[in-house]
Structures are given as structure tokens and as C-alpha cells.
Chain A
């Protein structure tokens, strides 16, 4: 009886203590007034698991030189965008976060990031990386890697790189495999992987301004090239070469099993292909419509919170440490994506796979980071899927999609 009462009392007290502590914490987080003094010489950085190990050294070097502690917080990359937008306004967010460049429009319209002044070091990065990290003329991040898709070729089945799409189909047919070429599509299609074909018909989603940024008022996707692309998609679907049943997993497995000489994919699938015993080579995406086939480039980098109390330390850390060749090379070695810093990229190009993806990336276009792009995806994929599975007149479906996007952007 006594024991019970004791236990009860303790449990009750713990519960109350916990609830009050919670109340205290949540109140403390409303604005960082009470805690900022203690934190002023600690930089909190959100990173994903792969990058965390590399940044440890850079952080230690920075702490040694400047006396500013760096706290690396590991996060699931896929959840960072959501959490950053939710936490920065409460004052609980980090000073710096790792980010993909196409989150930028969303970040800026939520007011959670602030511009980063690269100063004269801007010229040391690949142009496409800096353009991607810019929004409305201001640079918001320090880029560290560039990634894009290209054509993976099984050299045992196709010894030479195809110059055009027709060449690729001919080579694939001659190889006598199950599929002439493979590109992942899936039930809601995959506009990202189909984009190089679309640009080869001269139909980018948005037109660009003079400085290379996208112009949301200039929706170019529905032009004559877009209609030609839609017609072409329907023909590929009818010929059975493209199918909404070919999901990413299936396409990958078929390629590893030697069911096709070509797979349109990114560097993330190369290690598995090599592990499956395939001798791969990286080529440019062949043009289907006559114009250059430009895939999207995704740039990853680090951005600074709009509510950081450590703006100077954060800038110093990003520009002079993340932007150093050592760190960029180290980040490349764990991620396998070509570095954004030109010097580090040139060093990494001794690897033919990296050089291959890098060469395609040099001619590619940054994925639009304007928030309007978010409205495009939801119509784009399903329309392509409908066209590929011949659910209607391709040109009509395409124009319906263009009208829907235009209405959604308004």
C-alpha cells in the first residue's frame, strides 16, 4: 500500500514536472530572447546523414580558427524543407540548413531564408550552380553539388554512343533486348526524366529572363514544340517503348538484368549498375526533336535562416569553409555528385562517370526554383501518363494541361 502510494506520488510528480518543463520549453522557444545570449557563439547546422561526417572536419577547423562552435544536427533530407519552414518562424530552427535549390522559391515566399553574399567567390563556382541558387536576382545559398540525369549505356550491348533518338532506338533494337531503351515513367509519369526529350522539341516549361532566371509569366510549355512532343509521346506509347507500367524500380532492374542497352537515369543508380556487373558509360541524352536535349539540373547547397542571430559567423562558415576546395571534394567523395566549385569539379573529372554527368550538366538547365513550378508538377505528370497510355488526343490533352497550369499560377 505504502509502496503503491509512493509510486503514485512519484509518477504524479514526474508528470507534473514534465508538463511544466514542456510549458517552460515551449514558452522559451516563442522567441529566442532568453537563450540567444548563450547560443550566440554556436552555429547550428542541419545536415543529412551522408554530409554530416564530412562537415565534422570543416566544423572543427572553423571552430579552431574562429572560436565559434558548430553543432551539426542530422536530419532526414526529405523532411528538411517542411521542418525548416515550420521551425524558423518559431525561432527554433537552425542557423544554416542543407537544401536543394528548387526549395528556394518556397523558402523565400515563406520568408525563412536570407541572401548570402558570395562576393568575389561567386566566379569560382560553376555558373549553373550560382544561377540555381539565385532567386529574383539574389543569391540565397552556397552550392556544393550539381546533379542531373544522362544516358547510361551498357557497353556490352551497345558499343557506341547514339547521336540521335532514332539512332538509340535502332541500336537498342539491333541489340535484340526486351526494350530498345528504358526510362522510368510510372502511373503518374515522370516529367523530370522525360524533360530532356521535351526540351529537344523546344518546349521548356518557362521562358527565361536575360539573367537566366525563369519568368513565371512566360509559360512556354504549350507552344508548337510542346504539341510536337505530346504527339511524339503518344507515338512512343503506342509503339510500346514507353509505358506507365515502367516504374523507377522496374526500369532499374530491367537495365541491371541486361534487358536494354540504355537507361536514362542519374548518378545515384550507377554504383548499383556497376555492382550488377555492367560496364557502363555515360553519354548525352540523344535528341528526339532535333534541338539539344537538356535535362534539369538540381543543385544542393547550404542556406542561412532569416532569423539567425549568427549571420556573420554563418556567412563566414559557408563562404570560406563550405566553399573551400577540400570540403567540396570531400562532399563529392561521399555523395558522388559533381562538386559545384569549379576547381573541385575539375579534380573530380578524372573519374569518367563524373566527367560524363558533368558534361551533360554543363549543357543542362536548372530546375525552376520559382514557387509557380510547384503548380506545374501536379498537372504535368498525369497528362504525360494519359498521353503515353493513349487516353485521348495528345495535342488536346497537352493544351488542356497548359490551360490548367496557367489558371493555377494566376
Chain B
């Protein structure tokens, strides 16, 4: 195992950095796309159930199916890393739309009415009152989406691009366990690190949740 690590530092590093890229770009795009969709689902009540059912159905599509279908639908080469980014973005959006909508729905109407009474227009009320209140729910969903993405990227190895997944397929071809173990451990560690970073961000941007906890205690 140590032997394998020493001899393949460059390969492992390349796989890891590709993995980070393929996992996190969809998360960033997913946030940007799902915020307005989630908002629309809450703003226009008749959209809520159709949008959430649609995202539920998208989430039910197996990742490998999505990864190989994307090139057919979008018209790019199957070996392109873009396939994985698009497929994982679909997953992220499907998960986050529900979370954004539920987060915004959980805002107490009394609070929004108070904000309106204080002269907040709709957009300002959304940005400075509703979104901060919905933030803990949305960040909890973001943690799930990010961790799931990190582990799903490796499925892309089946079409030849998958970051750490390449170590899995190599181990399979060589009938040799060390690269597989290294890939699994790094993937799990990466997921834990990403999760930890979001938790830290959450602690920074929602200090009031801890203050409330202290008062209750």
C-alpha cells in the first residue's frame, strides 16, 4: 500500500484534483440555478407541486443512466467531462430546489409581514430577511448534495472520466486492491472535508442559531 502510494503520487494527485473539480463545479452551478427555481415554487403556489414532483423524478434517474444520456440530449462527445458536470448539476438542482422551497416556506409569515410593514420591498425583503432565515435549511440540503456529488463522481470512471474513479477501474484491470483502497479513502476524506467546510461556513453566516441555542440552554 505504502509502496503504491509512493510510486504513484502524481497519478493520485491528478485524479484527486480532477475529482474535486468534477464534484464541486456542479454544486456551484446547482446553487445558482436552484435558488430562482425554488423561489418561483414558493412565490407561485401552483408551481410548487409540479416543480417538486419533477425534481423528485429527476432525482430517481440512476446516475450512470444520466451520465450516458446527457451526450445524446445535449449533443457532446460521451467522453467529455462535461457529461459528468451536467449530470451532477441535474442531481444537485433536483435536490436543492426542494430544500430552497421548503426553507423559504418555513419563514414565519409574521416575520415577512413585519418586514413589509417596515417598508421592505419584495426583493430586499427576500435578500435580507427571508433568505437568511431559510439559510440553515438550505445549507443542510447543500451538505447532502455536496457529499453525494463527491461520491457519485467516481461513477464517471465507467465512461473514462471520473477523477478518483479512475483508480477503481485501474485496480479492477490489474486485480490489485491498493489503488481501489486509496481511491475510496480519498473520496470519503474529500467528502468529509467538503462537509466540514460547509459546516464552518454555516457557523459563520448564521451566528444567531448558536446564540439562540445558548439562550435556550
Q: Do A and B come from one complex?
A: no
Give chain A's interface residues, CB within 8 Å of chain B: none
